[in-house]
Amino acid sequence: MTDWNSWVRERLDLGDLTDTHAADVVEEIGQLLEDHYTHLINSGANAAEAEAAAREHIDNWEDLRADVARARRSRRKTAGKRIVEGVEAKSLGKGEHWASFSNTLKDVHMAGRALRRSPASSLVMILTLALGIGATTAIYSVVEAVVLRPLPYPEADRLGLITFTGQGMNDSISITPSQTIDFAEQARSLSTLGTYRSFTNTLELDDGSVVFVPIAIIEPQIQRLLGISPSRGRLLEPVIAGETDGSTSEAMISEELWERHFAAHPDILGREIDVAGGSGPAVIVGIVPRGTRFLVHPQGERERIDVWLSRAAVTRRGNVFSQRAMAQLAEGFTFEAASAELNSIAERNRARDFENEDGRGVLAVVPLRDRLVKAVRPNLYLLLGAVGFVLLLVCVNVANLMLVRSLRRRQEWALRAALGASRSRIVRLGLTESLVLAALGGVLGIAVAAGCLRLLPLVTPDTLPRGAEIGINVTVLAFAAAISLATSLMFGLVPAWNASKIDLRDSLIEGTRIVSGAGRVSRALITVQFALALVLVVGAGLMLRTIVNLNSVDVGFDADGLLTFQVLPSVSMFEEPATRLQFYREATARLEALPGVESASWTNLVPLSGGFNSASWAYDEETVERFGELTAYFRRAMPGYFQTLGMPLLMGRDFNDDDVDNDRYVLIVSERMAEMAWPGESPIGKRVTIDFRTASGMTELRETEVIGVAPSSREVTLHGDEPPLAYLPAWSTRAVNRAVVRTAGEPMELLPLVRALVKDLGVRRPLDNTRTVRRNIQDATADTRFILILTGVFSALAVLLAGLGVYGVLSHLVGQRRHEIGVRMALGASRRSVRSMMMRQGLAVVAIGLGIGLVLALGLTRVIESMLYGVSATDPATFVSVGALLFAVAAVACLIPATRATRVEPVTALREE
């Protein structure tokens, strides 16, 4: 006869269990088999039959092993330590890992089966989730790249820019050369300080063509701050001032420039390169790797530099606020401490460089990252908040669908509960379903996000800093996973919990009739949806009003049909003021001779191009006493400027050639400035003292005479009050190289003719900043439009989701109440009364949601108050119309199921029960 113990021992691998316990198990199962064998013999079987039957009794040893191992948690070996009896093992044995994994697999499998059972609603849920998770992930990836990601520099948190804000000055980031030297020598709070300049200018290639390239001129210590490490060659070496005169300086070029314009020629090092605006030809000593960024400009300009030039150390010359300085904090110092130290150093040395009160102001070391993203941060967080609302709406929608589905499956849950499934097991099954849904939604959502990011450049303003770094990376993926998990909990817990509370008897008897508790939850969710949707749509509505207002701002001149461009004549061409003027006059005459051109003129700043020069001014001592220093915006203009812009002077005369040729200090003031200075009087002939300090950096008081008054216009900014504006004739300055051309047709179509003309006049460099003024206006509203487009899309999604939500819940309700409706109709209720009863059901909930939403919106729109123009954050018209719109959408969504309710045939409905 078989030795049943050895039979079992050979087949049952109980390596997981402690030896003594394994022996017990073997012995007991062996005994059971032996008992079975004996029983078979006693029932009349022969020995061979009994032995065969007993041997086959256990058909799956592996299952038995797993079952025993799972049953005997506490008897398992763990790292050689015996577990105290009765205490649950903390770490799982091999078998248990497998068992728990296979349990999870089983759950996932069951969840998959449940989802496949109603493929349409599963698909709707997955797509809804994908949309919500995708949109949120896309916006997050923007926030991550622009705001959250550390700057790509070593010890980036200690990098700062030094800013100086003088009295009566706008925020500026420049300091004087003397201050630069003082700070570098004396500030203990700064470990490194270097100056830089960046601009776009032309590079002449070997084949004679000329291209625009972004250029940075840096002191070599900046290279270390930026952590630049050349992929070929070496870094720039310090230049000693005075020694480079006539000789060549050094340059590094970007890998992109090297490939694009030098065909990645291996012998690039040692060649010379000559960019306009540099200090003559420079020898290329290194190649800067792709992806290196020069992030100092809050408007995202010139983040990729093509030509890096070395700059001679700053010398003490003049007290012009001309130096942009980047600094690294020394170990153990804060930005506040460094700012305080710089202010005290500057004040100590101020008397050496300035007279009187000049040069007074506040210095600060501003964290580089703050400087870059401070302006865009609130906008991006706003959008993240808005898309978060959409995600919440998605969760609510899916939760409602899950709830409806779980109601249909109550009998299944009840049966499971009756068979001994615990509440936690049922909740777990429900949650597993949500997790599977969210995982599928998340994966699809990442694809949606990737798609959104491809479309995003169409709407993001060019001025977004670090825009090039936006993309899907590990952090973004982790975020997507995290929000998928979070959403699955949000939309999964309520229905799962609801299902687990099932009263066995009720649900088995009641069949599928809706339970009031779950109905309440559904209705509460609808309330939440409409509240959220209203807040979003109100926000978008306010932004829309803002855009409309901005676009209809009366700019004070005729903005259509104006072409602007900048010419860049060589330095030698413009050396002599006489040749310079000669050039402009000839260019003007030839431009005006072009077909379709009505007039042309020149200025230093094109309307609404974002740039400005301001200076303080005073017209008499009394005003100074009354107002303190006044600041106005100044522009230079050639004769014909006002005519070209379509803003004829209100009084006095335009500049003439005589003013220009003789450097006359004559002034044309805006109507606004005239009203401020000489209310009720004619300004013509008045004298104004202008302090040109901030324009040139030096104190230079000049008395000017007012010769004309121009209408107030929005040349500086579309938002806010138009500041006082004054125009000076474009005499000696070189900067008056921007043309304004009034055309009869489409301005940009004129460009080929203009290019040929300028080339013909001897300017070899291509035109820069070729734009229309209309385009400038569009750019000035780009940030607002960006927010409007995105919040608009989010609002549309929100309205759709809320509409679908109320539609779904009411449809379900109608289905559940067929019997009741049948009874009502049998008792004589009219179709109309049934319809309005169902409509009331849905719309009452919606109305509560909208009420809550209105209150929420009143609080939340304050966040966007500063972004609005010409509309208040609590604009009643917007609130009311948005509320009405959402109510109308809800009414349409309710009408369909409510009408369906009226088609209930009383007899059929009653018989069904």
Partner 1 sequence: MFSSELKKGSTELLLLSLLEARPRHGYEIGKLIEARSGGKLQFKIPSLYPTLSRLEERGLISGRWVEEPGQRRRRFYRLTKQGSAALGEKRATWHEYVATVNLVIEPEGA
Give the residues lining the site for partner 1 (CB under 8 A). Answer: 24-25, 27-29, 31-36, 39, 57-60, 63-64, 67-68, 70-74, 86, 418-420, 504-505, 508-509
Structure tokens at 731: 């005499």
- Check residue 238 and report its DSSP letter: P
Instruction: Tell me if residue 526 falls in helix, strand or coil.
Output: helix
Within 10 A of 854 (CB to CB), how many other CB atoms are there? 17
Tell me how far, at minimum, the Cβ of 842 lies from partner 1, in Å.
33
Dist CA 198 CA 303 (whole Å):
10
User: Rounded to the nearest whole angstrom, what is the least distance from the CB of residue 423 to partner 1 in the complex?
Assistant: 13
Nearer to partner 1, 29 or 647 (CB): 29
Alpha-carbon distance of 893 to 805, in angstroms, equals 9
- Which value, to the nearest 10 degrees, does the dihedral of the CA atoms of residues 768, 773, 774, 776 take? 70
On whether the CB atoms of residues 792 and 540 are closer than 8 A, the answer is yes
Cβ proximity to partner 1: between 421 and 443 the closer is 421
Nearest distance in Å: CB 19, partner 1:
16
Alpha helices in 368-473 (DSSP H): 368-373, 377-408, 410-418, 423-455
Sequence-distant (6+) residues with CB within 8 A of 650 are: 671, 709, 710, 711
Minimum distance between the CB of residue 396 and partner 1, rounded to whole angstroms? Answer: 34
Unique residue bearing structure tokens 């269990």: 17
Q: Closest approach of Cβ 59 to partner 1, in Å?
A: 7
| Range 251-261 burial, b when 16+ CB lie within 10 A, else e | bbbbbbbbeeb
Q: Which is nearer to partner 1, 67 or 865 (CB)?
A: 67
Tell me whether residue 30 or residue 906 sits nearer to partner 1 (CB atom).
Answer: 30
- Are the C-beta atoms of residues 251 and 307 closer than 8 Å to each other? yes
In the complex with partner 1, the residue whose CB is nearer, 505 or 626, is: 505
Nearer to partner 1, 420 or 679 (CB): 420
CB 134 within 8 A of CB 291: no
**Shortest gap between Cβ of 33 and partner 1 (angstroms)?**
7
Cβ contacts of 368 within 8 Å, gap of 6 or more: 151, 156, 159, 160, 161, 295, 296, 326
Residue 397 Cβ vs partner 1, minimum distance, rounded to whole Å: 34
The DSSP bridge pattern shows strands 630-637 and 562-566 to be unpaired
Q: Residue 144 carries which DSSP code?
A: I
Residue 873 Cβ vs partner 1, minimum distance, rounded to whole Å: 58
Between 169 and 421, CB nearer to partner 1: 421
Helix (H, G, I), strand (E, B) or coil at 590: helix
640: left (phi over 0), alpha (psi -120 to 50) or beta: left
* Beta bridge partners of residue 648, listed in sequence order: none
Query: Which is closer to partner 1, CB of 62 or CB of 705?
Result: 62
Shortest distance, position 30 Cβ to partner 1, whole Å: 9
Task: Determine contact, residues 709/669, Cβ cutoff 8 Å.
Answer: yes
Residue 24 or residue 301: which is nearer to partner 1 going by CB?
24
Which residues sit opposite 280 in a β-bridge? none
Q: Which is nearer to partner 1, 26 or 645 (CB)?
A: 26
Rounded CA separation 215/692 (Å): 29
The Cα–Cα gap between 395 and 192 comes to 51
- Shortest distance in whole angstroms from residue 36 CB to partner 1: 7
Nearer of residues 13 and 24 to partner 1, judged by Cβ? 24
Closer by beta carbon to partner 1, 72 or else 693? 72
Residue 16 CB, shortest distance to partner 1, in Å, is: 13
Name which of 510 and 663 has its Cβ closer to partner 1: 510
To partner 1, the closest distance from the beta carbon of 69 in angstroms equals 9
- Distances, alpha carbon 415 to alpha carbons 426, 499, 503, in Å: 11, 12, 11
Shortest Å distance, C-beta 418 to partner 1: 4
Please state the closest distance from residue 432 (CB atom) to partner 1, in A: 18
Helix orientation angle between 782-816 and 377-408, rounded to the nearest 10 degrees? 10
The nearer residue to partner 1, 26 or 630, going by C-beta atoms, is 26
Give the DSSP H/E element, type plus range, for residue 523: helix 516-551
- Please report how close the Cβ of residue 456 comes to partner 1 at its closest, in angstroms: 52
Q: Which residue has the tokens 């509409």?
A: 803
Q: Of 419 and 474, which CB lies nearer to partner 1 in the complex structure?
A: 419
**Tokens 């000696």 -> residue:** 732
Q: Find residue 165's DSSP bridge partners.
A: 362
Residue position matching structure tokens 């909208």? 850
Residue 557, both tokens? 């001149």
Amino acid at 463: T
Nearest 5 degrees, angle CA 576-CA 581-CA 587? 130
Amino acid symbol at 123: L
